[in-house]
Amino acid sequence: MLDSWLDYHRATLQLKCAGLDGEQLSRRAVEPSTLSLLGLVRHMAEVERSWFRRRFAGQDLEPIYCGPDNEDGDFDDVDAASAEQDFTTYAREVDAAREVAERHSLDETFVHQRHKVEMDLRWVYVHMIEEYARHNGHADLLRERIDGVTGD
């Protein structure tokens, strides 16, 4: 059930972006926000990597778009010309997250380094579903503003 809901939300984000070009995908919502559909795709690639691979699996990986001097690089540094590459990166991170999850029990735990609290894979799934649900709501509004398309 958790896999299905997470995959549903992953597919929803892609559906919200379908048929748009790089310029449309990188179009900002409203000033002063830097929110865009491409920024959401980049952000979710970062989040997939962070929760499944870096935190849960303990893989020593750098963030993709963000860093200590640029915490919001996923949203702030979008470039219409890199849209295709950003979607490839997103797909690669989703595949890698699936591979991590497939090898582990939902009850397997890790310690969140910053908060010093034990969490399990089940918690990661629930958090990811919540994260996608929230951002897919943003994607609904962004897509409607771009071309009027609404729906699931």
Note the pLDDT tens digit of each residue in 112-141. 988 899 999 999 999 999 999 999 999 999
In-domain check, residue 34? yes
Whichever domain contains 63, its CATH number is 1.20.120.450
The tens digit of pLDDT for each residue in 29-66 reads 888 899 999 999 999 999 999 999 999 999 999 999 99
Q: Which domain holds residue 109?
A: 2-147
Distance CA 51, CA 48 (A): 6
In-domain check, residue 152? no
In-domain check, residue 53? yes
Number of domains in the chain: 1
pLDDT at 52: 98
In-domain check, residue 131? yes
pLDDT at 152: 65
Whether 78 and 41 have beta carbons less than 8 Å apart is answered as: no
Q: How many angstroms from the chain centroid is the CA of residue 68?
A: 19
β-pairing verdict for 117-120 and 109-112? antiparallel
